[in-house]
Amino acid sequence: MSGNKAVSRDDVLKALGTVQDPELHRDLVSLGMVEDVQIDGSTVSFAVVLTTPACPLKRQIEQAAREAVMSVPGVERVEIKISSRVKANRSKIKEGIPGVCHVVAVGSGKGGVGKSTVSVGIALALAESGARVGLLDADIWGPNIPQMLGVDEPPRAEDKKLIPAEGQGIKMISMDFFVNDQTPVIWRGPMVGKMVEQFLNDVDWGELDYLVVDLPPGTGDASLSLAQAIPLTGLVVVATPQGVALADAAKAIAMFQRLEVPILGIVENMSYFLCPHCDERTDIFGHGGAKEMSEELELPFLGEIPLDPVIRAGGDVGKPVLVIDPESSLSQAFRDIAGRLAGRISMEDLREESEERDEEGGLEFITSGGSQ
């Protein structure tokens, strides 16, 4: 090999500069994902730091990076370390919840469409991928996350801070710990403001990559004040395929868009029923309506979850399907949705970053103009 030119760091970065993140549509180098490049003779090692541990395209990115660097003359071996670092939403972190990178709300137009089921599924799938996850059950009308996640220990107070309860590796706070069946319905609305303040200031969430918030259903005052008070990275909308649920979902989307909350995507729940005996598929509420709606509104479609008795039974006894049957296609459906969602969040970050850069650029221009 003595006649060959030594491999340089520039060659390696140039090669990696041709590898696109398939979701973010930019190359790994300009995205700042390549770190710790080391060259030892013909062996090149480096780290690829993804924007989320839930990235479904991990292997694809690794392979493309490997092929690109292997094609650099003189390289015979490539060692890649894949890791991830979720970045905080920079503008939101200022007024946000200390230590929490992203707050993702899960909402719906109608009640009973599976908002809580989807919140729990997304939270578990993100946690399973290695992310640090919290779940805030902000549904003042019917908080049921403790039951769904199988948590009965309430949060503790420590040094004037509330320490979240924990279940299946997820930190959790629920309205259920603060309101009870005797709490008059008329008090619940006004309690939201106070509670949100407490979630922001008095709960010690520790370091979280994602905080999933199960919102109250609909577009009432409670959802509104929550959405305004908590700095949200964005909203996931859950809908069932029937027309009424879709019309209500469209109303919720319009409201959040008016509040300038980015819509991260739509999930279709109870999408179809797969007969456990004959495997025949029945579209009980119709099928594909949410997907069509997402196309019409030009919003991302995050995926669909079938109607399955395992989901309902698991929810009732605090044994979510991802916990009792992680290998099932149902669990995989939640993982796919969480992966796509994490990708959308990374894209939101990129969009914000470039907007901020534009703004900063604009300011610089004004400053230099002013000093002349």
Structure tokens of 59? Answer: 């292997």
- Residue of the chain from 112, 169, 206, 243 that contacts ligand ATP (CB under 6 A): 112
Distance CA 212, CA 226 (A): 13
Distance CA 46, CA 49 (A): 10
Binding mask 270-289 for ligand ATP (x = CB under 6 A): x-------------------
Does 116 bind Mg ion (CB under 5 A)? Our answer is yes
Handedness of CA 317, 318, 324, 325 (dihedral sign): positive
**Span 195-214, contacts to Mg ion by CB under 5 A:** none
Distance CA 235, CA 337 (A): 14
Does 117 bind Mg ion (CB under 5 A)? Our answer is no
- Residue of the chain from 116, 219, 233, 331 that contacts ligand ATP (CB under 6 A): 116
Q: By rule CB under 5 A, what count of residues binds Mg ion?
A: 3
Query: What amino acid is encoded at 137 in this protein?
Result: D
Report in angstroms how near the CB of residue 126 gets to ligand ATP at its nearest. 17
Report in angstroms how near the CB of residue 85 gets to ligand ATP at its nearest. 31
At 282, phi and psi to the nearest 5?
-120, 130
Nearer to ligand ATP, 33 or 120 (CB): 120
Collapsing DSSP to helix, strand or coil, 272 comes out as: strand
Q: Taking CB within 5 to 8 Å according to partner kind, which of ligand ATP, Mg ion, none is near residue 269?
A: ligand ATP
Q: How far does CA 316 lie from the centroid of its chain?
A: 24
Distance CA 301, CA 337 (A): 9
Q: By rule CB under 6 A, what count of residues binds ligand ATP?
A: 20
Check: CB of residue 173 under 8 Å from CB of residue 162: yes
Angstrom distances, CA of residue 211 to CA of 13, 123, 155, 192: 35, 8, 16, 18
Nearer to ligand ATP, 23 or 137 (CB): 137
Report in angstroms how near the CB of residue 32 gets to ligand ATP at its nearest. 38
Structure tokens of 83? Answer: 């890791």
Report in angstroms how near the CB of residue 307 gets to ligand ATP at its nearest. 4
**Span 174-233, contacts to ligand ATP by CB under 6 A:** 217
Does 315 bind ligand ATP (CB under 6 A)? Our answer is yes
Q: Taking CB within 5 to 8 Å according to partner kind, which of ligand ATP, Mg ion, none is near residue 117?
A: ligand ATP
Q: Taking CB within 5 to 8 Å according to partner kind, which of Mg ion, ligand ATP, none is near residue 129?
A: none
Q: Taking CB within 5 to 8 Å according to partner kind, which of Mg ion, ligand ATP, none is near residue 308?
A: ligand ATP
Check: CB of residue 104 under 8 Å from CB of residue 212: yes
Structure tokens of 163? Answer: 């320490």
Report in angstroms how near the CB of residue 331 gets to Mg ion at its nearest. 20
Check: CB of residue 264 under 8 Å from CB of residue 300: yes
Distance CA 316, CA 177 (A): 18
Q: Taking CB within 5 to 8 Å according to partner kind, which of ligand ATP, Mg ion, none is near residue 113?
A: ligand ATP
Largest interatomic CA distance in the chain = 83
Beta strands 263-274; 281-282: pairing state: antiparallel
Looking at 82-90, 92-100, 219-227, 304-312, which segment touches ligand ATP (CB under 6 A)? 304-312
Does 84 bind ligand ATP (CB under 6 A)? Our answer is no
Question: What residue ranges bind Mg ion (CB under 5 A)?
Answer: 115-116, 139
Question: What residue ranges bind ligand ATP (CB under 6 A)?
Answer: 108, 111-117, 139, 142, 144, 217, 269-270, 305, 307-308, 311-312, 315
